Amino acid sequence: MAQKKEVTGPKLPEKWQMIAWSKQDERFSRIPTEWILKSSPAPETTSYVDIPRKCGILSDLELKITEEYDATALAEAIRKRELKCVDVARAFCKRAAIAQQLTNCLTEILFTDALARAEQLDAHLASGKPPLGPLHGVPVSLKDTFQIKGYDASIGIAALCFKPATENSVLVDILLDAGAVLYCKTQIPQTLMALDSHNNVFGRTINPLNTRVTAGGSSGGEGALLAMRGSVLGVGTDVGGSIRIPSMCNGTYGIKPSWQRIPFAGQVDGNLPSISRLGIPASAGPMANSMRDIEFFFSAVAAHKPWTRDPDVVPTPWNALMCVGKRRKLRIGVVRRDGVMEPHPPILRLMDEVAAKMRTAGIEVVDMDITPLFSQCQSLANALFGVDGGNAMFDLLELTDEPLSPWLATRLRRKKALPLDKVRELQEKRNVLQKKFLKIWNDAHGNEIDAFICPVAPHPVPPIDRYNGVSYTSSFVLLDYPAGTVPVRRFTEDDTKGEIEGKVKGNWDKANRELWTKVDRNVYIGTQLAVQVVAPKLEERKLCEAMSAIDEAVRDEGKAPSARL
């Protein structure tokens, strides 16, 4: 008897896929029809930054608002009644909509609510009342991890979609009390543990400066939106480099504070509550297109006494932090290597360039070799990142049979949570290392070092899904040092020259060297080169001062247009 042939039909979509399609449809439906681009960029187009100016969607006033003001200037113009809140909000909503269509940088769209709030803020001023706060009428974008009542904080996980928040994160309430207009939330990688912002729900964020390289992660949507001038002031989070890396990739400024500076309460990160207290706490911090906006953010948040709303925040008013420059010359160190991954030739040359420009600007420069300590940080940080074995995140993924994204699939797996005694041992190693690091803040003569510069990464902005090691950024989360990114200039053809010297230090260094020896170096041309600036724990005011001084010292014609205000 002949066997009965099995009949098979087309494969049905997975549960997570159905959720993702519905979520993308919801997002698209929130963009007004008249803001939809009439055509897509030509396939050979590798830079999207000029498209908003040429697409015909933005009026002359809206182009001026989004391109000629930073957040500080917008706040002043609104306060003086030179600009209306609703005109400012509409300009940035429209530009964010354009940025989304080009780079896929948004998750939640709040345009309708934002315009209604802007009208209320205009009516408030028209009635003769003073501004609500320093951010009155200033549009602020937020990483998707922040909860805004009535909107999802899905963090790109299908199981968390269509579950709108019932309350705001603490920082969201503070920003609203300060007068901000919240109008969108931005893209992140799946699990928040990748360095290129891709997830199964929303897809991949594209770098608008150079579409062939990564936009970074995990605050990659914020970085891309700022680079497109679709945001004037954004808020990201950072536990391994997630503010500083996208800032480097997209040519913006950003600071990871010490974790006790800015309220983090009410975040959605896919982990069990308070698990970070057993490992390494993340920080929330500003991303912007000018250094004065970074400081403006800290000042505005501190003015609303966040320590009265989040018990983790230290009670330190921003104005109480004294400027070094009023007492003496800034003294800034130069750290070139971490001892784990050898920097590529253009990165080492960049460090020398910035050191020379700092000296010319009157900054005292001190060469520092801290590799014996620096080299111990990455392995310890990696161990503390995984104290829970990733089980809570894997539980969420399995609810809808959602797979890991390709980059994570070869790097992440479910493990057993570490036993208490092992966690205690790791935290003791961290404590010992933090104590040893205290000695680096004085030079050989006992003089205080205010901050130091080092690479954000040992390589230029890499191709998509090729960013691999974070030892230059995760180390300062381990140490709880505030650290920020300052854009310097663009990568040029001359920067493709030179070879990496010395023996390979290990697997991390091998992968890093392949980004120089096994990549067409021309892909880096036009990408952003940046330095990282690091200050002692809870010295964000000193960090801002050092970053501002360095920014002034390195500013020249080669700097990204988005960074010249």
Q: Are 87 and 65 in contact (CB under 8 A)?
A: yes
Distance CA 245, CA 484 (A): 10
Residue 242 catalytic? yes
- For residue 334, list its beta bridge partners: 367, 453
Phi, psi of 267 (to 5 degrees): -80, 150
One-letter identity of residue 210: N
Cβ neighbourhood burial of 312 (10 Å; 0-12, 13-18, 19+): middle
In terms of C-beta density within 10 A (0-12 exposed, 13-18 middle, 19 or more buried), how is residue 548 classed?
Answer: buried
The one catalytic residue among 23, 84, 143, 185: 143
Q: Is 230 annotated as a binding residue?
A: no
Phi, psi of 284 (to 5 degrees): -105, 140
- Using a 10 angstrom Cβ sphere, with 0-12 exposed, 13-18 middle and 19 or more buried, the burial of residue 445 is exposed
- 241 is annotated as contributing to ligand binding: yes
Active-site position among 141, 231, 242, 562: 242
Provide the H-helix boundaries in 131-186: 170-177
Residue ranges with strand state E in 8-157: 106-109, 139-143
Active site annotation includes 143: yes
Does an H or E element contain 223, and which? helix 220-227
- By the 10 Å C-beta count (0-12 exposed, 13-18 middle, 19+ buried), 322 is classed as exposed
- Pairing mode of beta strands 139-143, 181-186: parallel
* CA-closest candidate to residue 245, choices 304, 298, 287: 287
Can you say whether residue 535 is alpha, beta or left, with left for phi > 0 and alpha for psi between -120 and 50 degrees? beta
Rg (alpha carbons) of the chain, rounded to whole number? 23
Q: Which residue has the tokens 């894997």?
A: 394
The annotation status of 192 as a binding-site residue, yes or no, is yes
Active-site residue among 154, 169, 197, 218? 218
Angle CA(417)–CA(423)–CA(427) in degrees, nearest 5? 145
Q: Is 272 annotated as a binding residue?
A: no
Pairing assessment for the beta strands 331-335 and 198-199 based on DSSP bridges: unpaired
C-alpha distances in angstroms, 491 versus 129, 245, 557? Answer: 49, 16, 13
CB 523 within 8 A of CB 212: yes
Q: Note whether 469 and 341 are within 8 A (CB).
A: yes
Please, which residues bridge with residue 451 across strands?
A: 332
The CA distance from 143 to 153, in Å, is 9
d(CA 27, CA 18): 14
Q: How many whole angstroms separate alpha carbon 521 and alpha carbon 171?
A: 41
Q: Which residues fall within 8 angstroms of residue 280, CB to CB, at 6 or more apart?
A: 239, 381, 384, 385, 477, 478
Q: Active-site residues: which are they?
A: 143, 218, 242
Q: Known binding site: residues?
A: 192, 218, 239-242
Q: Known binding site for substrate: residues?
A: 192, 218, 239-242
